[in-house]
Amino acid sequence: MNAYLYAMQEKSFPPAFEQRMRSQLGDAWNAFANIHSTDSPISIRLNSQKTGAQPIDLLSTPDMHSKIPWTENGYYLKQRPSFTLDPSFHAGAYYVQEASSMLLEQAIKQCVGNHEVVRTLDLCAAPGGKSTHLLSLLSKDSLVVSNEVIRSRATILAENIMKWGYSNVVVTNNDPEDFQRLNGFFDLMVVDAPCSGEGLFRKDAEAMKEWSVDNANLCSLRQQRILHDIWPALKEDGLIIYSTCTYNPEENANNLRKFLEEHDAEIVPLQLDKAWGIEALSIGYQCFPHQVQGEGFYLAVLRKKEAQPGARLRVAKNVFHKPVKLLADYQQWMTPADQTFLQFKDYLLALPASLTIEMEFLASLLKIVSAGTTLGTVKHTKLIPDHALALSIYLNKESFPSIEVDKEEAIAYLRKDVFWKEGLTKGFSSIQYKGFTLGWVNVLDNRLNNLYPAEWRIRMAANS
């Protein structure tokens, strides 16, 4: 039996989808259909601020990986490892992300660069693939507002942002229309829109079961509404990077064509190497799984040409305060000099000094889930270091004693198991695994208080 027939016995495409794709793809239909009977590629993107030039275990032998051509730090893995049992995964050394969606990198490199200071909104951000990528690509003075409308998903997003370790980011939990309070504020918006998910059919058979013509049409209308809602918050000459993981023109090029009829904007072309196999459409670019090593993905860049008055950053009442006097020498806990420290309730936050006014402005208008890096919790005049500080790319490792652990001990730590090592200094110490900080312990007289966040604890045994 040929691969296509076999695959179709396992999972059948919805007939209306198949009919449209056959006419969209013509002769390429068989190649497209057959690829759905193969395994999805596994890929990761390194956090170069944490890994530096040091390769992580997963990439330690060249035959275990190859580079994703349109990225600097993206790699395919030959097989799927247990990410849960890799301590460097929990340290934020890399993000597990589908390869095609890393095409965002080309849009940023070609249209923004890494020297500009840009106010960025990642509107549909959970679980955090695009936001962590943006943080790696943009200048460190740029602001990234990473937003997710669904509260439970915003919590997951905040965790992934914390692991990535940057401080120029705020996680929000708002509806797209809430951004109309920020007219003319953003230079760049990424709209990785909720879609009918056709591009994920190989990876996720459930997406295929949930697909219907009606649902795809609903998605298209929702995407139009989202673009309409956030448009006023974009500056004149600002950019929108619009993407979906679907092939349906109604959710992609046709949607943008309609938008261009109603708004003064232009499409910004990208230069993509032909050898990558990414198809240039009348509007935007499409990754097909039979042409690239990745799933289905669509991306286009728009520039706003309409006049748009800029935002005035006025704040009636400050949300953040100057920190109370603390015994801890906390300013030494982070390395760069340009961080500023602000207090919110009992939390001491660190963020780039240049972004203080923006943070105040956003906090007065949006529902904030996290802002900057939480350095610690204020207890009277003491400061208890926060897990976010352990994961920060700015942690000054010299300011705390550290405990080196091997893989088994690292997993015991991540499971919140009790463990003990001789010759430790009393007080807060960081746990180090191969140069990556995993978190904190408090060393007492004859035991370690494991401070790994209970809700993040791994539940797998080391040898599973």
* Binding region for ligand SAM (CB under 6 A): 101, 124-130, 148-150, 153, 176, 192, 194, 222, 226
Residue 106 in contact with residue 243, Cβ under 8 Å?
Answer: no
Residue 369 in contact with residue 173, Cβ under 8 Å?
Answer: yes
Q: Which CB, 285 or 413, lies closer to ligand SAM?
A: 285
Give min distance, CB of 128 to ligand SAM, in A.
5
Give min distance, CB of 37 to ligand SAM, in A.
25
Give min distance, CB of 107 to ligand SAM, in A.
13
As a whole number of angstroms, the distance between CA 154 and CA 399 comes to 32
Residue 179 in contact with residue 233, Cβ under 8 Å?
Answer: yes
The CA dihedral of 150, 151, 155, 156, to the nearest 10 degrees, is -30
Q: Which CB, 128 or 352, lies closer to ligand SAM?
A: 128
As a whole number of angstroms, the distance between CA 77 and CA 97 comes to 11
Could you give phi then psi for residue 335, rounded to 5 degrees? -80, -45
Give min distance, CB of 132 to ligand SAM, in A.
8
Q: Which two tokens stand for residue 196?
A: 């009918």
Give min distance, CB of 69 to ligand SAM, in A.
19
Residue for token pair 């990528």: 133
Give min distance, CB of 318 to ligand SAM, in A.
29
Give min distance, CB of 101 to ligand SAM, in A.
6
Q: Which CB, 191 or 375, lies closer to ligand SAM?
A: 191
Q: Which CB, 159 or 192, lies closer to ligand SAM?
A: 192
Q: Which CB, 207 or 414, lies closer to ligand SAM?
A: 207
Strand 74-77 and strand 42-46: the pairing is antiparallel
Give min distance, CB of 231 to ligand SAM, in A.
14
Q: Which CB, 176 or 385, lies closer to ligand SAM?
A: 176
As a whole number of angstroms, the distance between CA 194 and CA 192 comes to 7
Give min distance, CB of 114 to ligand SAM, in A.
19
Give min distance, CB of 123 to ligand SAM, in A.
6
Q: Which CB, 22 or 258, lies closer to ligand SAM?
A: 258
Q: Which CB, 68 or 448, lies closer to ligand SAM?
A: 68
Q: Which CB, 133 or 387, lies closer to ligand SAM?
A: 133
Give min distance, CB of 194 to ligand SAM, in A.
4
Q: Which CB, 168 or 223, lies closer to ligand SAM?
A: 223
Q: Which two tokens stand for residue 305?
A: 């040409």
For 393, other C-beta atoms within 10 Å of its C-beta total 19
Q: Which CB, 57 or 72, lies closer to ligand SAM?
A: 72
Give min distance, CB of 441 to ligand SAM, in A.
31
Q: Which CB, 46 or 328, lies closer to ligand SAM?
A: 46
